[in-house]
Amino acid sequence: MTKTRAQILSIAGASALALTISVQGQTPPTFHKFVGVGDSLIIGEESLCVVERFQQRSWVTIVASLLGQSDFQQPFIQEQTATSPLTGYPCLGATFDGTSISVGIVSQAGANQNSSLGRPYDNLGFNGSPHIRDFFDLKVTVPGRSDLDNHAAPILRNFAGGPFEGMSAIDQANSLGPDLLGFWGGNNDALDALGAGVAIEGVTLTPVPVFTENYNEAMADVSVAGRTVVAFNIPGINDLPFATTIPPIVVDPVTRQPVIVDGHVVPLLGPGDDAFPCNPAPPCGLPAGSVVTLAASPLLSQGIGIPAALGGTGLPLPHGTFTPPATLTPGVVLYPDDIAAIDDHIAGYNAAIAAATSANGVVLVDAHALFEQVTANGFRMGGLTLTTAFLTGGIFSYDGVHPSAIGYGILADEFVKAVNAAKGTSIPRPNFSPILFTPNVPSVPAPAVHDGGLWGYSLESWREWLGSIALPGGIQIQMPEESRNRGRATRVLTRSVGD
Protein backbone atom coordinates (compact mmCIF):
# COMPACT_ATOMS: atom_id res chain seq x y z
CA MET A 1 0.00 0.00 0.00
CA THR A 2 2.80 2.30 0.90
CA LYS A 3 4.61 1.60 -2.33
CA THR A 4 1.43 2.08 -4.27
CA ARG A 5 0.91 5.50 -2.75
CA ALA A 6 4.47 6.46 -3.41
CA GLN A 7 4.15 5.31 -6.97
CA ILE A 8 1.01 7.34 -7.41
CA LEU A 9 2.73 10.41 -6.07
CA SER A 10 5.71 9.76 -8.25
CA ILE A 11 3.57 9.33 -11.33
CA ALA A 12 1.56 12.43 -10.48
CA GLY A 13 4.71 14.43 -10.00
CA ALA A 14 6.14 13.17 -13.26
CA SER A 15 2.89 13.97 -15.04
CA ALA A 16 2.89 17.48 -13.63
CA LEU A 17 6.46 17.96 -14.79
CA ALA A 18 5.65 16.63 -18.23
CA LEU A 19 2.66 18.90 -18.38
CA THR A 20 4.70 21.91 -17.40
CA ILE A 21 7.18 21.12 -20.12
CA SER A 22 4.48 20.53 -22.70
CA VAL A 23 2.90 23.93 -22.24
CA GLN A 24 6.16 25.79 -21.93
CA GLY A 25 6.80 28.19 -24.71
CA GLN A 26 3.13 28.78 -25.31
CA THR A 27 1.29 31.79 -24.02
CA PRO A 28 -1.75 30.54 -22.14
CA PRO A 29 -4.91 31.85 -23.74
CA THR A 30 -7.13 34.35 -22.00
CA PHE A 31 -10.77 33.55 -22.40
CA HIS A 32 -13.27 36.31 -23.00
CA LYS A 33 -16.30 34.44 -24.24
CA PHE A 34 -17.49 31.05 -23.00
CA VAL A 35 -20.41 29.19 -24.55
CA GLY A 36 -21.90 25.80 -23.79
CA VAL A 37 -23.54 23.52 -26.35
CA GLY A 38 -25.07 20.14 -25.74
CA ASP A 39 -27.74 18.19 -23.98
CA SER A 40 -29.30 18.22 -20.52
CA LEU A 41 -25.86 18.03 -18.92
CA ILE A 42 -25.05 21.41 -20.44
CA ILE A 43 -28.29 23.19 -19.54
CA GLY A 44 -28.05 21.81 -15.99
CA GLU A 45 -30.99 19.46 -15.75
CA GLU A 46 -31.56 17.86 -12.37
CA SER A 47 -34.34 15.70 -11.10
CA LEU A 48 -36.05 15.50 -14.50
CA CYS A 49 -36.45 19.22 -15.05
CA VAL A 50 -34.73 22.44 -15.99
CA VAL A 51 -35.54 25.40 -13.77
CA GLU A 52 -33.48 28.39 -12.71
CA ARG A 53 -32.64 26.79 -9.34
CA PHE A 54 -30.84 24.04 -11.18
CA GLN A 55 -29.49 26.23 -13.98
CA GLN A 56 -27.75 28.45 -11.46
CA ARG A 57 -25.99 25.34 -10.12
CA SER A 58 -24.97 23.85 -13.47
CA TRP A 59 -21.33 23.25 -14.24
CA VAL A 60 -21.59 25.66 -17.14
CA THR A 61 -22.77 28.44 -14.84
CA ILE A 62 -20.01 27.69 -12.36
CA VAL A 63 -17.35 27.81 -15.08
CA ALA A 64 -18.73 31.08 -16.45
CA SER A 65 -18.50 32.52 -12.94
CA LEU A 66 -14.94 31.29 -12.49
CA LEU A 67 -14.03 32.92 -15.80
CA GLY A 68 -15.55 36.17 -14.59
CA GLN A 69 -17.94 36.26 -17.52
CA SER A 70 -20.50 38.67 -16.15
CA ASP A 71 -22.72 38.76 -19.23
CA PHE A 72 -23.29 35.02 -19.41
CA GLN A 73 -26.88 34.83 -20.63
CA GLN A 74 -29.09 31.82 -20.03
CA PRO A 75 -32.74 30.98 -20.65
CA PHE A 76 -33.69 30.86 -17.00
CA ILE A 77 -36.82 28.79 -16.56
CA GLN A 78 -39.13 29.79 -13.75
CA GLU A 79 -39.91 27.18 -11.08
CA GLN A 80 -43.55 26.97 -10.11
CA THR A 81 -45.71 25.12 -7.64
CA ALA A 82 -46.81 21.82 -9.12
CA THR A 83 -50.44 21.82 -10.18
CA SER A 84 -52.88 19.02 -10.92
CA PRO A 85 -52.82 18.48 -13.77
CA LEU A 86 -49.31 19.68 -14.40
CA THR A 87 -48.88 22.63 -16.71
CA GLY A 88 -45.13 22.21 -17.10
CA TYR A 89 -42.46 19.55 -16.87
CA PRO A 90 -42.32 18.16 -13.32
CA CYS A 91 -39.36 18.48 -10.98
CA LEU A 92 -38.64 15.64 -8.58
CA GLY A 93 -37.65 15.90 -4.96
CA ALA A 94 -37.62 13.87 -1.79
CA THR A 95 -40.88 13.43 0.06
CA PHE A 96 -41.81 11.66 3.26
CA ASP A 97 -45.02 9.74 3.79
CA GLY A 98 -44.58 9.17 7.49
CA THR A 99 -42.72 5.91 7.13
CA SER A 100 -40.31 6.15 4.25
CA ILE A 101 -38.46 8.62 2.08
CA SER A 102 -39.74 8.68 -1.47
CA VAL A 103 -39.23 10.62 -4.63
CA GLY A 104 -42.08 12.59 -6.03
CA ILE A 105 -43.01 15.76 -7.86
CA VAL A 106 -42.23 18.83 -5.80
CA SER A 107 -42.54 21.60 -8.41
CA GLN A 108 -42.81 22.17 -12.13
CA ALA A 109 -41.11 24.20 -14.82
CA GLY A 110 -42.65 27.46 -15.94
CA ALA A 111 -41.76 30.02 -18.54
CA ASN A 112 -38.43 31.26 -19.80
CA GLN A 113 -37.77 34.50 -17.93
CA ASN A 114 -35.14 35.66 -20.38
CA SER A 115 -36.99 35.04 -23.62
CA SER A 116 -36.52 38.53 -25.00
CA LEU A 117 -32.74 38.39 -25.17
CA GLY A 118 -31.76 39.78 -28.53
CA ARG A 119 -28.95 37.34 -29.18
CA PRO A 120 -28.46 33.61 -28.72
CA TYR A 121 -27.92 32.38 -25.21
CA ASP A 122 -24.44 31.58 -23.98
CA ASN A 123 -25.80 28.32 -22.61
CA LEU A 124 -27.31 26.49 -25.56
CA GLY A 125 -27.85 23.17 -23.85
CA PHE A 126 -31.32 21.68 -24.05
CA ASN A 127 -33.00 18.59 -22.71
CA GLY A 128 -35.66 16.40 -24.26
CA SER A 129 -33.07 13.69 -24.94
CA PRO A 130 -31.38 15.22 -27.98
CA HIS A 131 -29.11 12.94 -29.93
CA ILE A 132 -25.77 14.03 -31.30
CA ARG A 133 -27.23 14.98 -34.67
CA ASP A 134 -29.68 17.39 -33.09
CA PHE A 135 -27.00 19.90 -32.18
CA PHE A 136 -26.24 20.70 -35.79
CA ASP A 137 -29.34 19.37 -37.49
CA LEU A 138 -32.25 20.72 -35.44
CA LYS A 139 -32.43 24.04 -37.25
CA VAL A 140 -36.16 24.58 -36.91
CA THR A 141 -38.04 23.43 -33.84
CA VAL A 142 -41.76 22.78 -33.97
CA PRO A 143 -43.32 23.22 -30.53
CA GLY A 144 -45.92 20.57 -29.90
CA ARG A 145 -44.35 18.09 -32.27
CA SER A 146 -42.37 16.27 -29.61
CA ASP A 147 -40.91 16.70 -26.17
CA LEU A 148 -37.57 17.35 -27.81
CA ASP A 149 -39.07 20.26 -29.74
CA ASN A 150 -40.89 21.46 -26.66
CA HIS A 151 -37.68 21.52 -24.65
CA ALA A 152 -35.45 22.88 -27.40
CA ALA A 153 -37.72 25.63 -28.70
CA PRO A 154 -37.43 28.05 -25.74
CA ILE A 155 -33.64 27.69 -25.72
CA LEU A 156 -32.87 27.72 -29.44
CA ARG A 157 -35.76 30.02 -30.41
CA ASN A 158 -35.40 28.71 -33.95
CA PHE A 159 -39.07 27.93 -34.50
CA ALA A 160 -40.83 29.36 -37.49
CA GLY A 161 -40.87 33.11 -37.10
CA GLY A 162 -38.47 32.97 -34.17
CA PRO A 163 -35.41 35.20 -34.01
CA PHE A 164 -33.05 32.35 -34.86
CA GLU A 165 -35.13 30.30 -37.27
CA GLY A 166 -32.90 28.07 -39.30
CA MET A 167 -30.02 28.12 -36.83
CA SER A 168 -29.04 25.00 -34.93
CA ALA A 169 -27.44 25.13 -31.49
CA ILE A 170 -23.98 24.98 -33.03
CA ASP A 171 -24.89 27.67 -35.57
CA GLN A 172 -25.97 29.95 -32.75
CA ALA A 173 -22.88 29.22 -30.69
CA ASN A 174 -20.63 30.02 -33.62
CA SER A 175 -22.46 33.29 -34.18
CA LEU A 176 -21.42 34.37 -30.68
CA GLY A 177 -17.72 33.98 -31.51
CA PRO A 178 -16.65 32.20 -28.32
CA ASP A 179 -13.00 31.57 -27.59
CA LEU A 180 -13.94 28.79 -25.16
CA LEU A 181 -16.69 26.33 -25.98
CA GLY A 182 -17.88 23.45 -23.81
CA PHE A 183 -19.60 20.60 -25.62
CA TRP A 184 -21.35 17.55 -24.24
CA GLY A 185 -23.54 15.49 -26.49
CA GLY A 186 -24.18 11.88 -27.34
CA ASN A 187 -25.34 10.65 -23.94
CA ASN A 188 -28.88 10.01 -25.09
CA ASP A 189 -27.77 8.00 -28.08
CA ALA A 190 -27.12 5.25 -25.53
CA LEU A 191 -29.25 6.19 -22.53
CA ASP A 192 -32.56 5.78 -24.36
CA ALA A 193 -31.95 2.04 -24.12
CA LEU A 194 -31.61 2.27 -20.36
CA GLY A 195 -34.81 4.25 -19.95
CA ALA A 196 -36.74 1.96 -22.27
CA GLY A 197 -35.42 -1.21 -20.67
CA VAL A 198 -34.26 -2.72 -23.91
CA ALA A 199 -31.35 -2.31 -26.31
CA ILE A 200 -32.42 -2.27 -29.93
CA GLU A 201 -30.07 -1.10 -32.63
CA GLY A 202 -31.53 1.85 -34.47
CA VAL A 203 -34.43 2.22 -32.05
CA THR A 204 -33.04 2.78 -28.58
CA LEU A 205 -29.37 2.73 -29.60
CA THR A 206 -27.79 4.86 -32.29
CA PRO A 207 -25.56 2.68 -34.47
CA VAL A 208 -21.92 3.44 -33.84
CA PRO A 209 -21.16 4.35 -37.49
CA VAL A 210 -24.05 6.82 -37.47
CA PHE A 211 -22.89 8.26 -34.17
CA THR A 212 -19.33 8.55 -35.46
CA GLU A 213 -20.39 10.39 -38.57
CA ASN A 214 -22.59 12.76 -36.60
CA TYR A 215 -19.99 13.38 -33.91
CA ASN A 216 -17.34 14.12 -36.50
CA GLU A 217 -19.62 16.66 -38.08
CA ALA A 218 -20.38 18.28 -34.72
CA MET A 219 -16.68 18.57 -33.87
CA ALA A 220 -15.83 19.94 -37.27
CA ASP A 221 -18.55 22.53 -36.89
CA VAL A 222 -17.46 23.79 -33.47
CA SER A 223 -13.69 23.67 -34.05
CA VAL A 224 -12.57 27.10 -35.19
CA ALA A 225 -9.06 28.52 -35.25
CA GLY A 226 -8.27 30.38 -32.05
CA ARG A 227 -11.01 28.68 -30.09
CA THR A 228 -10.52 26.22 -27.27
CA VAL A 229 -13.15 23.50 -27.45
CA VAL A 230 -13.65 21.13 -24.53
CA ALA A 231 -15.77 18.02 -24.94
CA PHE A 232 -16.93 15.36 -22.49
CA ASN A 233 -17.30 11.72 -23.42
CA ILE A 234 -20.06 9.33 -22.37
CA PRO A 235 -20.29 7.85 -18.86
CA GLY A 236 -21.16 4.20 -18.44
CA ILE A 237 -24.62 3.14 -17.31
CA ASN A 238 -23.09 1.12 -14.49
CA ASP A 239 -22.29 4.39 -12.77
CA LEU A 240 -25.88 5.70 -12.82
CA PRO A 241 -28.10 5.10 -9.78
CA PHE A 242 -30.99 4.56 -12.19
CA ALA A 243 -29.27 1.31 -13.15
CA THR A 244 -27.43 0.35 -9.99
CA THR A 245 -29.77 0.99 -7.06
CA ILE A 246 -32.05 -2.04 -7.27
CA PRO A 247 -30.29 -5.39 -7.26
CA PRO A 248 -31.74 -8.12 -9.54
CA ILE A 249 -32.56 -10.24 -6.49
CA VAL A 250 -35.30 -10.27 -3.90
CA VAL A 251 -34.47 -8.17 -0.87
CA ASP A 252 -36.20 -7.75 2.44
CA PRO A 253 -38.13 -4.47 2.15
CA VAL A 254 -37.25 -3.52 5.72
CA THR A 255 -33.62 -4.51 6.06
CA ARG A 256 -32.75 -4.17 2.36
CA GLN A 257 -30.72 -7.34 2.76
CA PRO A 258 -30.99 -10.21 0.25
CA VAL A 259 -33.58 -12.84 1.02
CA ILE A 260 -31.81 -16.18 1.33
CA VAL A 261 -33.63 -19.42 0.52
CA ASP A 262 -31.78 -22.72 0.89
CA GLY A 263 -28.56 -20.81 1.10
CA HIS A 264 -29.07 -18.89 -2.12
CA VAL A 265 -30.27 -15.46 -3.11
CA VAL A 266 -33.51 -15.38 -5.07
CA PRO A 267 -33.53 -13.62 -8.45
CA LEU A 268 -36.35 -11.28 -9.35
CA LEU A 269 -38.63 -12.49 -12.10
CA GLY A 270 -38.49 -11.38 -15.70
CA PRO A 271 -40.01 -12.51 -18.98
CA GLY A 272 -36.73 -13.61 -20.55
CA ASP A 273 -35.44 -12.40 -23.87
CA ASP A 274 -33.96 -13.94 -26.99
CA ALA A 275 -30.59 -14.51 -25.38
CA PHE A 276 -31.97 -15.60 -22.02
CA PRO A 277 -35.30 -17.28 -22.70
CA CYS A 278 -37.38 -18.75 -19.91
CA ASN A 279 -37.58 -22.49 -20.06
CA PRO A 280 -40.20 -23.81 -20.36
CA ALA A 281 -42.17 -20.56 -20.08
CA PRO A 282 -42.04 -17.12 -18.54
CA PRO A 283 -41.60 -15.88 -15.94
CA CYS A 284 -38.19 -16.94 -14.75
CA GLY A 285 -35.42 -15.58 -12.59
CA LEU A 286 -33.26 -12.82 -13.97
CA PRO A 287 -29.79 -14.06 -14.84
CA ALA A 288 -26.77 -12.63 -13.08
CA GLY A 289 -25.66 -9.42 -14.72
CA SER A 290 -29.18 -8.17 -15.33
CA VAL A 291 -30.06 -4.58 -14.47
CA VAL A 292 -33.27 -3.58 -12.76
CA THR A 293 -33.88 0.12 -13.20
CA LEU A 294 -35.30 2.49 -10.63
CA ALA A 295 -38.50 2.41 -12.63
CA ALA A 296 -39.14 -1.04 -11.14
CA SER A 297 -39.51 0.50 -7.69
CA PRO A 298 -43.31 1.00 -7.72
CA LEU A 299 -43.82 -2.36 -9.42
CA LEU A 300 -41.83 -4.15 -6.74
CA SER A 301 -43.98 -2.40 -4.15
CA GLN A 302 -46.94 -4.20 -5.76
CA GLY A 303 -45.17 -7.54 -5.60
CA ILE A 304 -44.46 -7.63 -9.34
CA GLY A 305 -41.22 -9.44 -10.05
CA ILE A 306 -41.30 -11.27 -6.72
CA PRO A 307 -42.02 -15.01 -6.62
CA ALA A 308 -45.38 -15.98 -5.16
CA ALA A 309 -43.62 -18.20 -2.64
CA LEU A 310 -42.07 -15.07 -1.15
CA GLY A 311 -45.33 -13.15 -1.03
CA GLY A 312 -45.14 -11.57 -4.47
CA THR A 313 -47.50 -11.78 -7.43
CA GLY A 314 -45.29 -14.09 -9.40
CA LEU A 315 -45.62 -11.75 -12.39
CA PRO A 316 -42.47 -10.77 -14.25
CA LEU A 317 -41.00 -7.31 -14.29
CA PRO A 318 -41.40 -6.04 -17.85
CA HIS A 319 -38.57 -6.09 -20.33
CA GLY A 320 -38.78 -3.58 -23.14
CA THR A 321 -40.03 -4.83 -26.48
CA PHE A 322 -40.29 -3.35 -29.92
CA THR A 323 -43.13 -4.25 -32.23
CA PRO A 324 -42.50 -3.26 -35.80
CA PRO A 325 -43.17 -1.05 -37.42
CA ALA A 326 -43.29 1.59 -34.70
CA THR A 327 -44.35 0.55 -31.22
CA LEU A 328 -41.98 0.42 -28.27
CA THR A 329 -43.22 -1.00 -25.01
CA PRO A 330 -40.68 0.00 -22.37
CA GLY A 331 -39.53 -2.24 -19.57
CA VAL A 332 -37.72 -1.96 -16.28
CA VAL A 333 -35.23 -4.79 -16.62
CA LEU A 334 -32.32 -5.19 -18.99
CA TYR A 335 -30.80 -8.57 -19.65
CA PRO A 336 -27.05 -9.10 -19.87
CA ASP A 337 -27.20 -8.97 -23.66
CA ASP A 338 -28.85 -5.54 -23.41
CA ILE A 339 -26.16 -4.36 -21.04
CA ALA A 340 -23.43 -5.71 -23.28
CA ALA A 341 -24.96 -3.94 -26.27
CA ILE A 342 -25.18 -0.65 -24.40
CA ASP A 343 -21.64 -0.98 -23.08
CA ASP A 344 -20.35 -1.83 -26.56
CA HIS A 345 -22.09 1.17 -28.05
CA ILE A 346 -20.78 3.50 -25.37
CA ALA A 347 -17.28 2.15 -25.96
CA GLY A 348 -17.77 2.75 -29.67
CA TYR A 349 -19.08 6.25 -29.08
CA ASN A 350 -16.17 7.08 -26.80
CA ALA A 351 -13.69 5.79 -29.34
CA ALA A 352 -15.31 8.04 -31.91
CA ILE A 353 -15.21 10.96 -29.48
CA ALA A 354 -11.54 10.35 -28.71
CA ALA A 355 -10.69 10.25 -32.40
CA ALA A 356 -12.76 13.29 -33.30
CA THR A 357 -11.48 15.42 -30.43
CA SER A 358 -7.92 14.45 -31.18
CA ALA A 359 -8.31 15.20 -34.88
CA ASN A 360 -9.77 18.62 -34.14
CA GLY A 361 -7.48 19.64 -31.29
CA VAL A 362 -10.34 19.48 -28.82
CA VAL A 363 -9.65 19.06 -25.11
CA LEU A 364 -11.31 15.88 -23.89
CA VAL A 365 -12.73 15.45 -20.41
CA ASP A 366 -12.91 11.74 -19.68
CA ALA A 367 -16.25 11.67 -17.90
CA HIS A 368 -16.44 7.91 -18.41
CA ALA A 369 -13.28 7.37 -16.37
CA LEU A 370 -14.30 10.00 -13.84
CA PHE A 371 -17.59 8.31 -13.00
CA GLU A 372 -15.98 4.89 -12.98
CA GLN A 373 -13.43 6.18 -10.48
CA VAL A 374 -16.08 7.79 -8.32
CA THR A 375 -18.19 4.62 -8.34
CA ALA A 376 -15.20 2.56 -7.30
CA ASN A 377 -13.64 4.84 -4.70
CA GLY A 378 -15.99 7.71 -4.00
CA PHE A 379 -15.09 11.36 -4.36
CA ARG A 380 -13.29 12.99 -1.41
CA MET A 381 -13.61 16.65 -0.57
CA GLY A 382 -12.91 18.27 2.77
CA GLY A 383 -12.99 14.94 4.56
CA LEU A 384 -16.39 14.06 3.10
CA THR A 385 -16.90 11.17 0.77
CA LEU A 386 -19.43 11.43 -2.00
CA THR A 387 -20.67 8.41 -3.91
CA THR A 388 -22.92 7.53 -6.80
CA ALA A 389 -25.53 6.02 -4.45
CA PHE A 390 -29.12 7.07 -5.05
CA LEU A 391 -30.44 9.75 -2.62
CA THR A 392 -27.56 9.45 -0.17
CA GLY A 393 -24.46 9.60 -2.33
CA GLY A 394 -24.68 13.31 -3.07
CA ILE A 395 -23.57 13.21 -6.70
CA PHE A 396 -26.80 12.34 -8.52
CA SER A 397 -30.16 14.07 -8.44
CA TYR A 398 -33.54 12.54 -7.78
CA ASP A 399 -33.96 11.08 -11.26
CA GLY A 400 -30.93 8.84 -10.81
CA VAL A 401 -29.48 9.93 -14.14
CA HIS A 402 -28.61 13.63 -13.98
CA PRO A 403 -26.06 15.00 -11.53
CA SER A 404 -27.01 16.93 -8.44
CA ALA A 405 -25.69 20.41 -7.72
CA ILE A 406 -22.72 18.71 -6.08
CA GLY A 407 -22.24 16.49 -9.11
CA TYR A 408 -22.26 19.52 -11.38
CA GLY A 409 -19.68 21.14 -9.12
CA ILE A 410 -17.43 18.13 -9.67
CA LEU A 411 -17.93 18.41 -13.43
CA ALA A 412 -17.06 22.11 -13.34
CA ASP A 413 -13.90 21.22 -11.47
CA GLU A 414 -13.01 18.56 -14.04
CA PHE A 415 -13.57 21.04 -16.85
CA VAL A 416 -11.30 23.61 -15.22
CA LYS A 417 -8.59 21.08 -14.50
CA ALA A 418 -8.70 19.80 -18.08
CA VAL A 419 -8.42 23.27 -19.60
CA ASN A 420 -5.65 24.34 -17.24
CA ALA A 421 -3.72 21.16 -17.92
CA ALA A 422 -4.09 21.37 -21.69
CA LYS A 423 -3.67 25.09 -22.17
CA GLY A 424 -1.51 26.16 -19.26
CA THR A 425 -4.18 28.54 -18.01
CA SER A 426 -4.90 29.32 -14.37
CA ILE A 427 -8.65 29.27 -14.19
CA PRO A 428 -9.47 28.98 -10.47
CA ARG A 429 -11.04 25.77 -9.33
CA PRO A 430 -14.56 26.09 -7.90
CA ASN A 431 -15.19 26.64 -4.22
CA PHE A 432 -16.94 23.52 -2.96
CA SER A 433 -18.08 24.94 0.38
CA PRO A 434 -21.29 26.50 -1.00
CA ILE A 435 -21.71 23.59 -3.39
CA LEU A 436 -21.64 21.04 -0.58
CA PHE A 437 -23.63 22.83 2.08
CA THR A 438 -26.29 24.92 0.31
CA PRO A 439 -29.72 23.24 0.39
CA ASN A 440 -31.10 22.62 -3.08
CA VAL A 441 -34.84 22.86 -2.51
CA PRO A 442 -37.63 24.66 -4.34
CA SER A 443 -38.70 28.03 -3.05
CA VAL A 444 -42.30 27.27 -3.98
CA PRO A 445 -44.71 25.26 -1.81
CA ALA A 446 -44.47 21.52 -2.42
CA PRO A 447 -47.47 19.31 -3.14
CA ALA A 448 -47.90 16.20 -1.05
CA VAL A 449 -46.89 13.44 -3.46
CA HIS A 450 -45.99 10.14 -1.90
CA ASP A 451 -45.78 7.59 -4.66
CA GLY A 452 -42.17 6.64 -4.52
CA GLY A 453 -42.31 2.89 -4.35
CA LEU A 454 -40.08 0.46 -2.53
CA TRP A 455 -36.82 2.10 -3.59
CA GLY A 456 -38.07 5.64 -3.43
CA TYR A 457 -38.71 6.08 -7.12
CA SER A 458 -42.14 6.78 -8.56
CA LEU A 459 -43.88 5.46 -11.62
CA GLU A 460 -44.56 9.07 -12.47
CA SER A 461 -40.83 9.71 -12.47
CA TRP A 462 -40.26 6.92 -14.94
CA ARG A 463 -43.13 8.04 -17.11
CA GLU A 464 -41.65 11.51 -17.33
CA TRP A 465 -38.23 10.01 -17.98
CA LEU A 466 -39.68 8.06 -20.88
CA GLY A 467 -41.54 11.15 -22.01
CA SER A 468 -38.25 12.85 -22.65
CA ILE A 469 -36.90 10.11 -24.89
CA ALA A 470 -36.52 11.24 -28.47
CA LEU A 471 -36.85 8.04 -30.43
CA PRO A 472 -36.45 7.84 -34.17
CA GLY A 473 -39.36 9.28 -36.10
CA GLY A 474 -42.76 7.73 -35.74
CA ILE A 475 -42.08 5.32 -32.92
CA GLN A 476 -44.72 5.27 -30.20
CA ILE A 477 -44.10 4.38 -26.58
CA GLN A 478 -46.84 2.13 -25.26
CA MET A 479 -46.76 1.77 -21.49
CA PRO A 480 -46.64 -1.81 -20.20
CA GLU A 481 -49.71 -3.66 -19.04
CA GLU A 482 -48.68 -3.69 -15.39
CA SER A 483 -48.76 0.05 -15.21
CA ARG A 484 -52.14 0.25 -16.82
CA ASN A 485 -53.49 -2.29 -14.36
CA ARG A 486 -52.45 0.05 -11.61
CA GLY A 487 -54.41 2.80 -13.27
CA ARG A 488 -51.42 5.03 -13.79
CA ALA A 489 -49.40 6.20 -16.71
CA THR A 490 -51.82 4.91 -19.27
CA ARG A 491 -51.11 7.45 -21.93
CA VAL A 492 -49.46 6.53 -25.16
CA LEU A 493 -46.36 8.60 -25.60
CA THR A 494 -45.98 9.52 -29.21
CA ARG A 495 -42.64 10.70 -30.38
CA SER A 496 -42.43 11.73 -33.99
CA VAL A 497 -39.29 13.71 -34.26
CA GLY A 498 -39.15 14.58 -37.90
CA ASP A 499 -35.87 14.98 -39.67
Under the rule (CB under 8 A), what is the footprint of other proteins? 1-2, 5-6, 9, 12, 93-94, 96, 101, 380-384, 386, 391-394, 397, 404-406, 413, 417, 428-434, 436-441
Closer CB to other proteins, 86 or 432, in the complex: 432
Closer to other proteins at the Cβ: 52 or 273? Answer: 52
Q: Select 4 or 24, whichever has its Cβ closest to other proteins.
A: 4
Among candidates 460, 215, 203, which has minimal Cα distance to 324?
203
Q: Give 280 or 439: the residue with its C-beta nearer to other proteins.
A: 439
Q: How far is the CB of 362 from other proteins (least distance, A)?
A: 23
Closest distance to other proteins from the beta carbon of 451 (Å): 16
User: What b/e readout covers 422-437, taking b as 16+ CB neighbours within 10 angstroms?
Assistant: bbbbebeebebeebee
The CB-of-103 to other proteins minimum distance in angstroms stands at 9
Q: Is the peptide bond before 130 cis (omega within 30 degrees of 0)?
A: no
Judged by beta carbon, residue 132 or residue 435, the one nearer other proteins is 435
> Nearest distance from residue 393's CB to other proteins, in Å?
7
What is the C-alpha separation between 30 and 427, in angstroms, rounded? 9
Between 7 and 490, name the residue whose CB sits nearer to other proteins: 7
For the bound state, the minimum distance from the C-beta of residue 196 to other proteins, rounded and expressed in Å, comes to 27
Cβ 242 to other proteins shortest distance, Å: 16
The least CB distance from residue 303 to other proteins, in Å, is: 25
DSSP output for 234-251: PPPGGGSHHHHSB-SB-B
Q: Shortest distance, CB of residue 66 to other proteins, whole angstroms?
A: 9
Q: How far is the CB of 16 from other proteins (least distance, A)?
A: 9
**For other proteins, the closer CB: 220 or 389:** 389
Residue 12 beta carbon to other proteins: minimum distance, rounded to whole angstroms: 6
Identify which of residues 253 and 282 has a Cβ nearer to other proteins in the complex.
253
Half-sphere exposure (Cβ direction) of 224: Cα atoms closer than 13 Å: 14
Query: Which residue number, 260 or 384, has a Cβ lying nearer to other proteins?
Result: 384
Q: How far is CA 359 from CA 125, 219, 261, 352, in A?
A: 24, 9, 56, 10
Say which DSSP state 396 is in. Answer: B
Cα separation of 392 and 210, whole Å?
Answer: 38
- The runs of H, that is alpha helices, within 134-201 are 134-137, 147-156, 169-176, 188-196
**Rounded CA separation 194/205 (Å):** 10
| Residue 398 near residue 93, CB atoms below 8 Å | yes
Nearer to other proteins, 323 or 438 (CB): 438
In terms of phi and psi (left: phi > 0; alpha: psi -120 to 50; beta: otherwise), the region of 316 is beta
Residue 308's contacts (CB-CB under 8 Å, 6 or more residues apart) are: 314
Long-range Cβ pairs for the range 475-481 (8 Å, 24+): 475/203, 475/326, 475/327, 475/328, 476/326, 476/327, 476/328, 477/196, 477/328, 477/329, 477/330, 478/327, 478/328, 478/329, 479/329, 479/330, 480/318, 480/329, 480/330, 480/331, 481/318
